[in-house]
Each structure stands twice: as C-alpha cells, then as structure tokens.
Amino acid sequence: MTLTEAPGAGERAAALDLLAALVRCDSVNPPGITERPAALCEAALRGAGLPVRRVEAAAGKPNLVATLDNGPGRHLVLNAHLDTVPPGDLAAWTHPPLDLTECGGRLHGLGTGNMKAAAAAMVMAMARLHRARGSWSGRVTLTLVADECTFGPDGAAHLLAVEPGLRGDGLICGEGPGAMNLGLAEKGLMWVRLTATGRVGQGMLTALGTSAPARLAVALAAIDGWNDLRAAPPLAALDHPANAEGMRLSANVGRIEGGAGFSPAVSRAEAQVDFRLPPGMTRAAVAARLDALCGEGLSWAEVKGWEPNWSPEDCAPAVAVRRAAAAVRGAAPRPVTRLPASDASRWRALGVPAVCFGPQPGLASGTDDYVNARDLLDCIAIYAGAAVHLLHPAG
C-alpha cells in the first residue's frame, strides 16, 4: 500500500468502528470531559504500535501526544480535539446524536464534523505512517486535545505552554473549513458584553427609548446590520467567490438578560455578542464601531478575543496538503478562510505555519452533524501523504 492509496476493507472498518465509539462518548463542552474518547484513541494508537502519553491540566481533560521519531528531518504536528459543542434542541435531530448513523453516504452523529471524524482519520494516518517507516524520515506528532470548543486553557493552550517542543515546523489541524477546502486563514474572535442602563421604572413610567431594554434592543439591531461588512483579502489566494463568507464580519447575539418577569422595573440589561472578524479586519476597527454606537446608558467590554490570522499560501503545510489531496482526489483544495476558530491559531501565534483541513462538510457544525464517508476515508490518505510531502518536500 502507498500512503495515499484508498483504505481497504479492513482499514475502512477500523476507521468507522473508531468513529462510532467516539460518537458514543458524551464529551460536550461545557463541561468538556474527554476521558472516554481519549482512552479510546489511546488504545487505538497503542494497538497500532505507537507510543502515547498524557499531558493533563485538569481532571477529566487529558491531552494525548503520540510521536513517531523516524530519523533526522522536519517535524509535522497533526492536531484534533475530542470535545464537542452541545447538540442544541434534541427534537430537531433526525438521528440519535450519540449514535453513528450511516445514511446515504453520510455518517451522522454529534461531533462527527466537529471534529471526531478528523481525529479518527488522524489516528488511522499515524498507523499508516508507522507501518511505512521505511519510506520517510523525520518526526510526526499527533496531538488529540481537550477544551477547544470553548477556547479554554486546558487543551492545546496548556500543551504548548508546558511543551514548547510540540510547536513543530508546521501544523495540520483537522478542523475542516467545509467542502474539503483548505483553511489557509481563519476569522478572529471578539466576545463582547454589551450593557445598557436606564431609569428604574416600568415602561409606562419611562420616556420613549430610555429604558435599559429599549437601549439594548436598538444597539443589537444596529449590530445585526454589521453582518454585511466585508474586508479586503490580505492574500490573493483568498480572493475568490467561494470564500465570500470568509471575508464577511459575522455578529451573533447570544445570551440576553434583563428583568425577571413580564412587568419588572429594569435598570440594567445585558447581551453577549460573538464577533468573528475576517482577515483584513482588526478588533480595533470593531471597537471603534462599538465606541461610536455606545452613548448615554450604553457601554461595552471585551471578554475574550484575538486577531484574524493566516499562513502564507506557499507555506509547507499548505503545499503538502494540496499535493496529497490532488493525488487522492484528483484536484487540489481551494484556499479559504475558516469561519469558526480553531487551535491552528495557537500555533500561528507562535510563528508556526498552520492550515486546517478535514472532513467537516459545511462551514460550521449544527443539528444532524455529519461527515461524508468518502471524505473521512480520503482524509486518512491525505493526512499520511501530506506528512511525507512536508517531510520530503522534493520527493
């Protein structure tokens, strides 16, 4: 078998069995307890003959590190996370969230797209690389981490802080940007708490538009209009119609609070707003808009955030994934901006070139989360092939 050959029956069955077992593990974050899926991946890696160790910052949230040292050469890091976002309204699911259901070529289950399918594919790719040690030289490390879905401190952030040797020479993160495209960039994050205050009194006792809820409602309506703002791509590779969503500011309003009944005397109302900034737009630019929006009785504060980030089109991981994907699928993936955040940004912040590539089919995961079975299997070959391309760029 060549490293980019399609999986045979045995490898396919093993990949599907591993993914099914991972989906059965409830690892919703919060609380983000990933002990069960980590144990499954650890057993699979050890069963393939790979050394595995744990680096844990918090109880129940192990980070797995499996390294193949195979002589002198570059160091590639593969990364996936084992926690999932909440399923939302269970009544909206067509298939049981914690059961892997194959239907029409799709594999449904919570966390399949984000991102247990990529984790399973990377485990299988590491097994391929282990079996083919005679055909490459260098180092490949797989990091399977916790605490990604809430951008918490116990996953990749902890791993990179305590083990700087895991930075590597390049990173491939399994967070797919959708449609088997190549995530060359990703949006920045800006979590904002918007607070409105007003006269303490029921609506019939306050002047029009001066109550805290009214002021908050006007501000949120204005922010909703910012969803049409776009940035100029900082890289020519990102300037194409398929990346239109990647160059748009998105503003999503989360929790809204104010009062405790139908007719309360509300003096304060609050909303949490999630901004995702396209490459070419800064948090300072959004902050200026918020400053202009906030007048009497309205203020804002940033809770968490980082700038949009990207890697050069010709960086080693990007070239390696394009070459491997072209060999496996007959065409190289298009470079795009990934809409949600990923751990790739943590490596980029350290100066390490990083890309996102994986089987998540849409721009983001949601109800009836799924991956295409073919994409899952192709990713096994692409991850393994990309590793060899990066370690041997002239090969």
Tell me: do 140 and 206 sit in the same domain.
no
pLDDT of residue 233: 95
Tell me: do 355 and 338 sit in the same domain.
yes
Tell me: do 53 and 201 sit in the same domain.
no
Domain limit, last residue, from 245, 277, 306: 306
In angstroms, the CA 22 to CA 41 distance is 8
pLDDT of residue 206: 57
Q: With beta carbons less than 8 A apart as the criterion, state whether 22 and 15 touch.
A: no
Residue 348, CA atoms < 13 Å, CB-side half-sphere: 25
- The secondary structure of 10-67 as a DSSP string is HHHHHHHHHHHHHHHS--BTTTT--HHHHHHHHHHHHHTT--EEEEESSTT-EEEEEE
Please indicate, yes or no, if residue 66 is contained in any of the structural domains.
Answer: yes
Region 39-62: mean pLDDT is 97
* Mean pLDDT value across the chain: 94
In angstroms, the CA 212 to CA 7 distance is 60
Residue 271 forms beta bridges with which residues? 194, 256
Tell me: do 212 and 257 sit in the same domain.
yes
Q: Three-state SS for 293? A: helix
Please indicate, yes or no, if residue 2 is contained in any of the structural domains.
Answer: no
pLDDT tens readout for residues 177-187:
999 999 999 99
In angstroms, the CA 94 to CA 234 distance is 40
Window from 18-32, 72-86, 252-266, 288-302 with minimum mean pLDDT? 252-266
pLDDT at 315 over 70: yes
Strand order in the sheet with 188-197: 250-257, 268-277, 188-197, 298-306
* Tokens describing residue 140: 């490949």
Region 146-159: mean pLDDT is 96
pLDDT of residue 316: 97
Please indicate, yes or no, if residue 296 is contained in any of the structural domains.
Answer: yes
CATH number, domain at 236? 3.30.70.360
pLDDT of residue 211: 84
Please indicate, yes or no, if residue 4 is contained in any of the structural domains.
Answer: no
The percent of residues above 90 in pLDDT, for the chain, comes to 89
Please indicate, yes or no, if residue 157 is contained in any of the structural domains.
Answer: yes
Tell me: do 177 and 212 sit in the same domain.
no
The H or E element spanning position 377 is: helix 373-391
Count CB atoms within 10 A of the CB of residue 221.
9
- pLDDT confidence bin for 216, thresholds 50/70/90: very high
How many domains is the chain built from?
Answer: 2
- pLDDT confidence bin for 258, thresholds 50/70/90: confident
Specify the amino acid at residue 238. Answer: L
pLDDT tens readout for residues 265-298:
788 999 999 999 999 999 999 999 999 999 999 9
The percent of residues above 70 in pLDDT, for the chain, comes to 97
Domain limit, last residue, from 274, 306, 338: 306
Q: In the annotation, is 228 catalytic? A: no
Longest dimension (CA), the chain: 80
Tell me: do 59 and 171 sit in the same domain.
yes
Tell me: do 287 and 341 sit in the same domain.
no
The beta strand positions in the chain, using DSSP E, are: 52-56, 62-70, 75-81, 101-103, 106-108, 138-145, 170-173, 182-186, 188-197, 250-257, 268-277, 298-306, 309-310, 335-338, 354-356, 370-372
Window from 193-197, 207-211, 309-313, 353-357 with minimum mean pLDDT? 207-211
pLDDT of residue 366: 87
pLDDT of residue 267: 85
Please indicate, yes or no, if residue 176 is contained in any of the structural domains.
Answer: yes
Tell me: do 324 and 359 sit in the same domain.
yes
Q: In the annotation, is 148 catalytic? A: yes
Region 109-131: mean pLDDT is 97
Specify the amino acid at residue 247. Answer: M
Residue 87 forms beta bridges with which residues? none
Region 91-100: mean pLDDT is 96
pLDDT of residue 263: 62
Tell me: do 45 and 162 sit in the same domain.
yes
pLDDT at 205 over 80: no
Q: Three-state SS for 113? A: helix
Evaluate the omega torsion of the peptide bond into residue 30 and state whether it is cis, within 30 degrees of 0: yes
- pLDDT confidence bin for 131, thresholds 50/70/90: very high
Please indicate, yes or no, if residue 3 is contained in any of the structural domains.
Answer: no
Catalytic-labelled residue, pool 11, 42, 148, 154: 148
Tell me: do 315 and 172 sit in the same domain.
yes
pLDDT at 202 over 70: no
In angstroms, the CA 2 to CA 385 distance is 9
Q: With beta carbons less than 8 A apart as the criterion, state whether 223 and 275 touch.
A: no
CATH number, domain at 108? 3.40.630.10
pLDDT of residue 171: 98
pLDDT at 395 over 50: no
Domain limit, last residue, from 306, 338, 353: 306
Tell me: do 349 and 330 sit in the same domain.
yes
* Tokens describing residue 165: 């040797």
% helix / strand / coil in the chain, to the nearest 5? 35, 25, 40
Q: With beta carbons less than 8 A apart as the criterion, state whether 140 and 78 touch.
A: yes
Please indicate, yes or no, if residue 226 is contained in any of the structural domains.
Answer: yes
Q: How far lies 344's CA from each of 173, 211, 320, 386, in Å?
A: 6, 43, 16, 16
Catalytic-labelled residue, pool 83, 147, 186, 369: 83
In angstroms, the CA 214 to CA 301 distance is 19
Evaluate the omega torsion of the peptide bond into residue 115 and state whether it is cis, within 30 degrees of 0: yes
Q: With beta carbons less than 8 A apart as the criterion, state whether 87 and 28 touch.
A: yes
Tell me: do 288 and 313 sit in the same domain.
no
Q: Determine the structural domain holding residue 331 and report its residue range.
A: 9-186+309-391
